[in-house]
Structure 1
């Protein structure tokens, strides 16, 4: 009797466990297919049409015309049947706003259309809910390569090698809107297919064509900044009797000394001070900044120690515009300044929740150089513009007046004030 009773209890317990497991599985399935806050989409697992069929059923006639004239079908087939794709599909209004009429599309070569459409294509099925859940942008590679460029590898197992350069798309969903490379691309609902997702966007996406330095030079608003950086570099070389250079363009240009298979381009971002920012700080031109440096005292060489002592005053004015690179200490041989983490931040990354404790550099491997965490504090104006200042600073925050100027390396954000270190005195 006791044995039978125990058996009955055991069987009841198993049944209870089974019920609980079934409820958990059901809740997982429900959660898996819950609609994203931006609206309901059919999961790709439930979709019955492929991307070609889904595209054919849409009203995006200009994209379909460009697709038909291109060789994209053949290109996608090279990835294999199991590959899923994300297509960013500009609306007809987006094509027309960019001057891409049906007549122009029909007279554009397939090669040019291929490049345009490859930049709009990602070789993975992006999940919209993943973009909602993340604080930061999700980095996706388009299928458009640049054979002349090589980047640092993403995989930790290839730390000594390099990766081919594919033009990137930084994606985020906020309040129902898709943001691509920091800029609003609309709130049109994506459509799932068996082999990916079709996501309508309200603007044509253009691949970046310039390095950061080229973009700064061509813009016309950053002349004082460029002049000061170059003149400080030249003066440093002169002060060291032409023994030690302090180049300032690495990261802003393609490293022409390196080519495939070596890394020759690095992703980053720049808080670029406009000429007006210098004027607001009391500097009429680059000459005024260099005169300020002389009054504050120039760096000099201690020949007994064999090292340079001191820095330019302008270094403390401008270092935070490039995430403290100018004042981060070097090791004894002026190299190995600690491993740098990515500073490729689009404007919708610039917030304290994401970057407040972000580690910029992990310090020297032997502990002789400090770990550097984010020295900046971010905010917003009443109009939603991003503001930036040094943590603990009483100086007027800089405001991004023109953000997400895309380059081969990442974004430039034009700011209206200088961002000096917290203890800087004008």
Structure 2
């Protein structure tokens, strides 16, 4: 009996000493890993004071004189909404009291409006990330900011994948511009711990129509719409499933496309000044390239889509935008090549800008084959390398759900 107890005690002691040895080895390893330079030195000199913003975005807002926006904010419980979002920083564009009154938003109306309605109203003036004034000042032209306002009522969109209203924001000369409007003098931004607040002097109209609806509402564009219809019918006859080069479908917003884009819409007068006096002339031009060829790889192994003679007109007017074929930024989100008037005045890089990278075995690099110039605040446009004189935009910054329309009346964008 004593022998068994001794054996058991010996085994227990052996395990105990083994554990102690293992712990000792690890302790030696940890001690040897510590070096003198790993020890944090004592601080030298005086502490550097924090000079950044100290107040939250809500506190910063409530200390401004924009009483009507603040009243709407409180009634809509926008603070509660922001706290539920994944984003923790925002850019807030706050209309002044005069701006809200001019749009019909008095205190009496605000106090009798449903909170959900006010929530939607204010959401249009909140971007889902912080754009500090120092960052915005470095950008030529506009940056596309996603607002918190969305809609599932736009065709092709849904509750699961809603349409997002955008704020195209930038600096032109000494003013802040949004969606083609000067909204305030530059320099009144207030930074906070959770975002930046810009006070603006006007409320922004919400786009209501898409490109197709707008063009259909104006007889000036009947030639252009018929040219699109004729050209699309040729592709549909070739292959009903082939829609890469179709134009009418692109005039409607669609979440599958590469975001919002720019259309230089030619009037009927523009067609006539370029020699196309009637719909019959447009149809005759379209038929010159029949039958349409097949897609193929060219001598450099790039994939080439078939084109018609009308494409030589239609593609430049939509800046070669091709829907599902791009453009997307590196994160996979739509790039939104929608350029407002202040973009065209200030951002010289738009002329000949690359729309999409090419890839051997796939599509060629896609470029904006237009060039823009300006004189005395007037923007002029023509095809790159064209012999014709640049043409002025007779109307500009018509914002629609899927981009922006500028109007040409002096001719078509021909080579």
TM over 0.5: yes
- Structure 1 residues 168 and 338: alpha-carbon distance in aligned structure 2, compared to 1, 3 A threshold: closer
Q: What whole-Å deviation, never above 9, does each CA across 1:215-262 have from its counterpart, x for those lacking one?
A: 322344322211221123224545x4979676322332244xxxxxx7
The 5 A counterparts of 1:59-78 are 59-78=65-84
Aligned to 1:344: 338
Runs (5+) with no aligned partner, structure 2? 1-44, 297-303, 329-334
Per-residue CA deviation, residues 343-389 of structure 1 (Å, 9 max, x unaligned), is: 3323333366322342123234426x53233311110132x122110
Among 395, 404, 410, the residue aligned to 1:402: 395
Distance 1:288 1:102, change over 3 A: farther
* Contiguous gaps of at least 5 residues in structure 1: 1-21, 30-42, 152-161, 256-261, 327-335
1:324 to 320, 324, 339: 320
Task: Give the equivalent residue in structure 1 for 2:95.
Answer: 90
Match of residue 358 from structure 1: 353
Contact 1:299 1:311 in 2 (8 A): no
Which of 371, 380, 399 pairs up with 1:387?
380
Partner residue in 1 for 2:300: none
> Aligned-pair distance for 1:115?
0.6
- Decide whether aligned partners of structure 1 residues 279 and 62 sit closer, same or farther in structure 2, where only a CA change above 3 A counts: farther
Q: Is 1:121 equivalent to 2:126 in the alignment? A: yes
TM-score normalised per structure 1 = 0.70
Distance change in 2, residues 1:55/1:375 (3 Å)? same
**For residues 91-240 of structure 1, what are the structure 2 equivalents within 5 Å?**
91-147=96-152, 165-187=163-185, 189-238=188-237, 240=238
Bigger mean CA deviation after superposition, 283-292 or 227-236: 283-292
Find the aligned partners of 1:163 and 1:133 in 2 and give their Cα distance. 32
Measured after TM superposition, the shift of residue 192 of structure 1 is 2.4
User: Is the alpha carbon distance of 1:366 and 1:222 closer, same or farther for their aligned partners in structure 2, counting shifts above 3 Å?
Assistant: same
> For residues 301 and 378 of structure 1, do their structure 2 counterparts lie closer, same or farther at Cα, with a shift above 3 Å needed?
closer
- For the residues of structure 1 that align with 2:192 and 2:229, how far apart are their CA atoms? 52
Aligned-partner Cα distance in 2 for 1:212–1:190? 34
Deviations 1:155-204 (A, max 9, x none): xxxxxxx9864322122123231111232111161222333222111211
Task: Give 1:292 deviation, angstroms.
Answer: 4.8
Deviation at 1:400, TM superposition (A): 2.1
Name which one, 1 or 2, has greater alpha-carbon Rg.
2
Q: Is the 8 A contact 1:300 1:310 kept in 2?
A: no
Q: Any conservation in 2 of the 1:141–1:169 contact (CA below 8 Å)? A: yes
- Count of residues in Structure 1 that have an aligned counterpart in Structure 2: 351
Separation in 1, partners of 2:128, 2:306 = 50
Q: Which of 57, 60, 73 does residue 51 from structure 1 map onto?
A: 57
Q: Which moved more, 1:91-100 or 1:285-294?
A: 285-294
Kindly state the Cα deviation for residue 311 of structure 1 after the two structures are TM-superposed.
5.4
* 1:5 counterpart residue number: none
The aligned counterpart of 1:300 is: 291
C-alpha contact 1:149 1:264 (8 A) present in aligned 2: no
Asked if 1:280 corresponds to 2:279, the answer is no
Change over 3 Å in CA distance of 1:219–1:73 after alignment to 2: farther
In the superposition, the TM-score normalised over structure 2's length comes to: 0.72
Q: Distance in 2 between matches of 1:241 and 1:166?
A: 33
Query: 2:264–2:405: 8 Å Cα contact kept in structure 1?
Result: yes
CA distance in 2 between counterparts of 1:267 and 1:243 reads: 23
Map Cα deviations across residues 9-65 of structure 1 (whole Å, 9 max, x no partner). xxxxxxxxxxxxx9xxx9xx9xxxxxxxxxxxxx9x633433333333322232223
Q: Could you report, residue by residue, the CA deviation over 1:141-163 in whole angstroms, capped at 9, with x for unpaired residues?
A: 21223346799xxxxxxxxxx98
